[in-house]
Amino acid sequence: MSSYPHVFQYPFAVLQEQGFEMKGQWNKLFFKNENPIVLELGCGKGEYTVELGKLFPEKNFIGIDIKGARMWTGAKQSLEEGMKNVAFLRTHIELIEHFFASGEISEIWITFPDPQMSKVNKRMTSSRFMHLYRKILIHSGIIHLKTDSNFMYTYTSELVKANNLPIEVSTDDLYNSGLDDEILSIQTFYEQQWIERGLNIKYIKFILEPKDIYIEPDVEIELDPYRSFNRSKRSAKNTNKE
């Protein structure tokens, strides 16, 4: 992918030494417009990044993941289709503030992340990541979470509640919720797997209002009854759709 003009791969050592020249200037230097920028974190094959780019030509989309082999699928498709509002960034999510300036991002999509049931700080909707997202989002920036994990959905819902963040949409059974939303109908590779295995898809959309401190929810959450620490090894043997 090093030859793709819309793919950016920056080792941490390079960031430390040189920084990222487009930080705060993605619209000016790359997209060549002033349209809102939307991120898909942990984009995998980039399905949401590409499909959202098609649905909303008036917005710019950047898929972020550390695994280039997965990202290549979406990068190749968007290049072949001549999409000018799509880019991909290969880096760790924890480093995104090195690539984007304050207020540069309007929305963030988190699609089917590992719920990290035993490691709070690694959960992509934890208070740690909320502080990180707040650094790059506009004032009323939006967070979308789509997940197969009941643990992740419940944890995120409780965190949003604990921090009094405005919820715009929340459902623990997306495709039986009656929501007629073209955006939500986009299905990632992993999502199709979970649906085939009988898992309900959960979705929550909320506004990340600025706060000095984001707190963790003080609740006990039931663990998922299937392996979740490695998406390639997940199994739904003990899970049935109700």
Q: Which residues are catalytic?
A: 114
Nearest Cα to 236, choosing from 200, 186, 187, 185? 200
**Could you give the CA distance from residue 106 to residue 95 in angstroms, rounded to a whole number?**
18
What residues have CB less than 8 Å from 144, skipping those under 6 apart?
Answer: 107, 108, 109, 110, 203, 204, 205
Burial of 16-32, coded b for 16+ CB within 10 Å and e otherwise, reads eeeebebbbebbeebbe
Torsion, CA 14, CA 19, CA 24, CA 29, rounded to 10:
-60
Spatial contact of 18 and 99, defined as CB atoms under 8 Å apart: no
Q: Which helix (H) or strand (E) holds 205?
A: strand 202-207
**Could you give the CA distance from residue 93 to residue 130 in angstroms, rounded to a whole number?**
12
**Could you give the CA distance from residue 27 to residue 87 in angstroms, rounded to a whole number?**
12
**Could you give the CA distance from residue 85 to residue 216 in angstroms, rounded to a whole number?**
35
> Angle at the Cα of 173 (from 176 to 94), degrees rounded to 5?
140
